Structures are given as structure tokens and as C-alpha cells.
Amino acid sequence: MHYTFIIRFLFLLSLVTQPILAAPVTTDSLQTQQRSIQSADDCIVPQNLHSDGGTSTTAFLGWNTVVGTAIRYRVRWRSSGSATWIDRPITPNPYDKLTGLTNGVTYEAQVQTICNEQPTPYSGSITFTTACSLPDVVTVYEVTRTSALMVWGEYGTEPVYEIQWRPRGISTWPNSLTVSGTSYSFSNLTPETTYECRLRTLCNDGNVSDYCSSRVFTTSSCGVPNSPRESDPVGSKIQLAWSVNSAQMINLQWRPAGTSTWTLVQNLPTSSPTSNGQTTGFYQLTDLTPGTAYEWNVQRICDETVRSSFTAPRTFTAICGSPEYLQEGQIQPTVAEVYWRAVYGISYRVQWRTKIPADSPWQTLPDKKMNSNGLLFAQFSDLAPGTAYEWQVMTLCSATNSSTFSSPRSFTTVCAPPVNFTQAYITSTSARVQWAAVSPETQYKVRWRRDNSTEWQEGAPTSNAYFDIAPLQTATLYRVQVQSICGGIPGSYSSDVLIGTWCFPPNSTYIRTTDITATSAQLHWAPFDSTTSYEIQWRVAGTDSWPQSLTTSAMGAYTLPDLIPKTNYEWRIRTLCADSNVSDFSDNYPFTTSLKSVIYSVQAGSWMNPTTWSANRIPTSTDLVEIQHDVVIPANETGKSQSIQYKAGGKLRVSTNVKLFLN
């Protein structure tokens, strides 16, 4: 395995990343700029001269970079107390290495900048003392039963290192060797043994450092597997599992309890290690005899020749056991998903019911068969929102062998906000919002606030699929939300619906004209509330003005009287809001009166009875008759009409010797 460590020499490079900028200048050309930067007045003495690392005969110096063009540096050094400086060659780098030094001697060094061949004064002196240094950052990794890896930092390429190790507790160091590089792997160690190791630097001038402090580690054992366990008994099958501390092979043996012969299953793999180093192995026993007791155990294979002991035997009885690991998945207002751990080839039966009342009958899903090992899912549908349910599942091991049901588990369906939440209509002081009803049992609560406020106002719960909000402030933007209340349990609120309180005309969706006769027509619109009035205008189509108008507080319908037969009309409407604001007029809506008056039935009965007809008279040969009920012409009578039309539910019956004249 390869390890990379920070070399002391490279550390010096990181210390030159804080530039010392020359003073800025204004120039007319690049050449003038270069001359100015390199002038003696602007050339900066290097800052932060320092020494780091080294050996008994070398030292590493570094300083901060000076920014400029063609910047170079010169280092000089001497032993402390000497009058003679030794100059190093000029270098473009902000670092230098001194060699040929003497171990244990104190030195001083200085550095200067050279800009355009013009040197600055030298910096202040720093001092350092040469020595054969201890190894840095010594650590032991990857300890196994028989091996371990020791790693450390280094001081350049010159040193080599002496390593010693021993079992902890003995007085001598029987194991020693010399290595270069930054790591060494111990091998052939004794399992379950505590060791200590140390090393020192051997400098190339014959000097040596002290030993570093000892590092202690303990080799692992070939221990028995952990946590042997059984799961998912399904009559003739059962799942066995265990854990170990590394990805090692396992031997497993099993037998009917009380017998002398083991069945051995060798070299079973385990899974990849998890973050804590644990691995898990599985094995399924099959062809068991239901009702029979069995025992089993496992051992670890540590290497080709080393095995752990077997674990203590565990006993189980081959039964058809209830499913395990029951969980709920997604729970929605009317749908719920549940799942459990299942065994390949085995079928399961699932039941569910409401928790209240406690004696609610169980409902059963069709049996589900597992086609692989893992989790098996089931779904309950047509549930009531905001309702508590419980469910259970049993294992069907064979046609004649099944488990008991599992202990019931509970869940509560979500009480979701209603959908299609929108505004129905708005005035300058009120608004109606509406939504799609969830169920007949569900109640709702609406809340609202001004757009620039955080304080909500709440309405009383309602069973209606709409709510009238009043009073509101005129010309104001509001945010409105609605929540469902399921079985007394409030759900989450919906997303916001924005409404603005301005005076609007009635919604065009609901404006229509019906019951048109020769002299009348009924106008319809969606009313806002009982306090709102409306202005209606109508005219003969094609005229410029609106000579006829009226104001009404009728709740969504008004009949125009005294119209001219066979004439094209149009009408429009606007809202007169309670705060004296008025809306714009709606679009124009046309209609045409009929040529003749229409007389229509208002109840079932005799043609010859005036109370059967809307005009409270018997129809004549000039009337357009519309039959909406069961009408009969009695025996020996004569009926007259210009024409007859039938509406839904309308029919005409005649007795004997009857005449009917249509013009």
C-alpha cells in the first residue's frame, strides 16, 4: 500500500503564498512600468524569512514572495559569531537549501531582493541549529491478526530510519531493521498480542536522532462469529444469520437436536464490511421436518490453517412462524401501503380493519405469494381519510400449515386538504371560496390573512364545500387556506389561494337566459350574498342606448316582463357592492322572444282544467303548448293548439272519442 506524506521541503512552498506587493504606480507604457517596479525605491526586502526542518548537515530556508518583473533573491549565511558571510547563488525561487553544515552548530542567515540588477538591503538575521531530528507523525494502521502498518513523515531523501518492535512487557528489543521511505509493514505477528514499536532517524553524516516514543497496538484474534440468530421460520425452511468483524469465510453445522451427526456446510461467504467493520452472513436451511427441534452453530475461518472454535449451539423448532419486520410505507388519505420480510415461494394473508369500534370486522386481501427473497408489499384502498386502522399478516407455509396472525400494527390515514380549492366569487367586502368535498363525514375549516400580515383569522368548521368570508377590507389582497377535519382530527392546510377584494360583476359562467316567451324572459346569475344588489339593463338588439334598467336584490334570478313578441333583445348586469362600489358591466347576453305566447302545464291533470296551465285557462288554437307533466284529454272532449312541445317528463294521453286540432 502506498502512503504520501508532506515533505518538510514542500512545506516551505506553502509559506510563500502571501505576496508582498510593491507600491502601485501609474505609467504610460509597459516599459516605464517595468523600470518603475524594478527601481531601488520600490524593490522590497523579503519578509518572513524562516527555517523549517533539515538534518544534521542541511537546512531549508523560505520567505514571502515579492511581486514584480524579473525578481530574484540572494541568501547569505554564517555560523553564529563568525565575521565572514557565505553567499548562496542567486535564485528566482522564494526558498533555498543550505548544505555542508555541521551537526549541533547554530547558524544565522539573511536574504535580499534583486530587482533589475539592483539589490535591496539584506533582511534581518534568523538563527537555527542543525540536528538529526526525530521522525514526525508516527502512527500504526491496519492491524490484523498477524500484521500491522507503521507510517511516519520524512526529512527529505537523505535520512534512513531504524525501526524496533517487541511484544509489550519484555525488557529488550529483539527485532530491529533499517529502512528508507515512510512506512513499514510488520508481518508474522502473534494473534491477540500487544506490541510496541519505535524508530529513529539515521542522518547521512553518521549522527542519529533519539527514538520517538513507543506506539502500542494489539493484534486481533480468530474469535468466534457474533450474534448468531434465526429468522423467518416457514415450516420446512428457516433463515440463519451471524456477524463477524471482517469479510471472512464461515463454516456452519446443524443437526436434529439430540442426534450425534452434524451436517457441515463449509466456506460460507459474508457481506462486505459496513462502516463499523462488521459483516453479516446468511444461510437458509431447507427440507426441515415441521415440529422437529434442531440445533446449529458456526465457526470463523481466519486463514488456511486457523479456525475459531464453534459458537455455542443454538436451538430452534421448525414451525410455520408469523412474518417479521412488519412496517407501514406510504400512508395517504384513502390508500395505505404495508410490507414485511417474506420468503421465496411462500404465500401470505393480510387483513385490516378500522380500530374504532374495537370489534370492527376484519377485511382480507387476496393471498400474496413471494417470488423472491426480500420485502413483500400490500396495499389497502378505499380507506377513510383521517381514520385509525390496524392490520395483521399470517404465513401460509403449505395448504395445511399456517402461522397465527402477527400482532396487529396501527396506522392513521392522512387527513389531506380538499382539492380544487378556488374562489367562487368576490365582492369589495366579501368572498366565497369553494372546494371538492372529501366525504360526507368530513368537516372543513377556512382561514385567511392579509397578504402583508402574518396573523390568520379562522372561520367556524363547516360541512359545506364552500365558505363565505366577510367582512373583508376593500381593495386588499388576501391569502386563504382550507383544511379537512377527519373524525375530529384536523389535517394540514392547503396551499394559498389569493383573492383581491374588489367589486366584480357576476361570474359569466353562471349567466344565462331561460323560460323565454313572447312577452317575458327569465335572467339568471350567481349571486354573491344577500346584502348585494345588482343593476340589470336590457334593450332591443341593435340600439345604441340602454333605455331600460332596474335595480334588484334578487338572489340570482329575475323575470323581465312586457317584452315584444318575436324580437331580439340583449341584456347585461353589474354588481352594486355594499360599500357603494360598483363593478363593471358584464358582457351582453342576447335572447329572442317567441312569436306567440307559450302556455305550459304546471301540474298533471285534465287538458280541460284551467289550473293545469300556466295562463290559468284552457289553451286555444293560437297558443304554443308546452307539456311538462302527465296531461289527459277526457272522453268526448276536443283540444286545440297551434303546436305542442314536450319537455322531460311530459306526456299527453287521450280517452275515447277525443279530438285534437293543431293549426
Cα–Cα distance, 154 to 133 (Å, whole number): 10
pLDDT of residue 221: 80
Q: Are strands 521-524 and 557-560 parallel, antiparallel or unpaired?
A: antiparallel
Q: Across residues 27-37, what is the average pLDDT?
A: 37
Q: What is the mean pLDDT of residues 206-213?
A: 88
pLDDT, the chain, mean? 87
Q: Which pLDDT tens digit goes with each residue over 319-338? A: 999 998 999 998 888 899 99
pLDDT in tens, 279-303: 889 999 999 998 899 999 999 988 8
Mean pLDDT, residues 587-607? 89
41 pLDDT tier (thresholds 50, 70, 90): low
**Sequence-ordered list of residues with C-beta below 8 angstroms from that of 248, at least 6 positions apart, any chain:** 270, 279, 300, 301, 302
Of 457, 448, 421, 424, which is closest to residue 436 (Cα–Cα)? 421
Q: Domain 508-592 class?
A: mainly beta
Greater pLDDT, 610 or 531: 610
Return phi, psi of residue 9, to 5°.
-65, -40
Q: Which CATH architecture has domain 8-129?
A: Sandwich (2.60)
Unique residue bearing C-alpha cell 506587493:
21
Q: Tell me if the domain spanning 422-500 has CATH number 2.60.40.10.
A: yes
pLDDT on residue 239 = 92
Relative to beta strand 659-662, strand 638-641 is: parallel
Please tell me the pTM assigned to this model.
0.44
**What are the tens digits of pLDDT across the range 338-369?**
999 998 889 999 999 999 898 999 999 999 99
CATH class of the domain comprising 226-317 = mainly beta
pLDDT in tens, 445-500: 999 999 999 999 999 999 999 999 999 998 899 999 999 998 788 888 999 999 98
Percent of the chain with pLDDT over 90: 56
How much is the pLDDT for 12? Answer: 36
Which residues are bridge partners to 638 per DSSP? Answer: 659
Looking at domain 324-412, does it have CATH number 2.40.50.100?
no
Write down the domain spans for the chain. 8-129, 139-218, 226-317, 324-412, 422-500, 508-592, 598-662
With cut-offs at 50, 70 and 90, classify the pLDDT of residue 60.
confident
pLDDT above 80: residue 120:
yes
Identical fold between 422-500 and 508-592: yes
DSSP state letter for 510: G
- Band (209; pLDDT cuts 50, 70, 90): confident
In CATH terms, the superfamily for domain 139-218 is Immunoglobulins (2.60.40.10)
Residue 225 clears pLDDT 70, i.e. is over it: yes
Contacts of 62 (CB under 8 A, 6+ apart): 12, 13, 15, 16, 49, 50, 52, 94, 95, 96
What span, in angstroms and rounded, lies between the C-alpha atoms of 646 and 123? 116
The answer to whether 156 and 58 have CB atoms below 8 angstroms apart is: yes
More confident residue, 566 or 360: 360
Please tell me the predicted confidence (pLDDT) of residue 155: 61
| Of 206-210, 328-332, 595-599, the least confident | 595-599
